[in-house]
């Protein structure tokens, strides 16, 4: 017996820039966008119950700058001003928060490869 997979419509909004988004995916996702209010950083949308949106002042997105030395690290996330950002937090008025972390990736070189010789 075939079971139909129903597409569930979900409404999303950015508490910083106000951009809205609708998905119809049957899977759990975390929708992201380049937020103009955070200088182009990748930031999460927040799921809302309808296209009515988020109540003003109920939450905000905050970009968390990296405080460590970056040096020659590859793949660092930066905003439009070149600031290294390590995370974006969704802060709610009740004091709770979610964090979207930009974790660095490890890189390795193999000795004797063409890439090392270049």
Which DSSP string corresponds to 5-22? PPPPPEEEE-TTT--EEE
What pLDDT score was predicted for residue 117? 47
What pLDDT score was predicted for residue 62? 94
What pLDDT score was predicted for residue 29? 80
What pLDDT score was predicted for residue 80? 92
* 118 residues of the chain, pLDDT tens digit each: 776 667 688 889 999 999 999 988 878 788 899 999 999 999 999 988 766 677 877 899 999 999 888 888 888 888 999 999 999 999 998 999 999 998 877 677 787 766 554 4
What pLDDT score was predicted for residue 50? 65
Residues with Cβ within 8 Å of 37's Cβ and at least 6 positions away in sequence, in order, are: 14, 16, 17, 61
């Amino acid at each position: 017996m075939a079971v139909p997979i129903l597409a569930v419509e979900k409404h999303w909004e950015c508490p910083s820039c106000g951009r809205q988004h609708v998905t119809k995916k049957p899977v759990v996702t975390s929708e992201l966008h380049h937020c103009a209010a955070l200088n182009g950083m990748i930031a999460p949308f927040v799921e809302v119950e309808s296209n009515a949106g988020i109540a003003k002042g109920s939450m905000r997105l905050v970009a968390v700058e990296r405080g460590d030395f970056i040096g020659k690290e590859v793949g660092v996330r930066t905003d439009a001003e070149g600031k290294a950002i390590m995370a974006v937090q969704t802060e709610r008025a009740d004091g709770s928060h979610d964090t979207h972390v930009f974790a660095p990736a490890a890189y390795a070189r193999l000795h004797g490869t063409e890439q090392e010789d270049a």
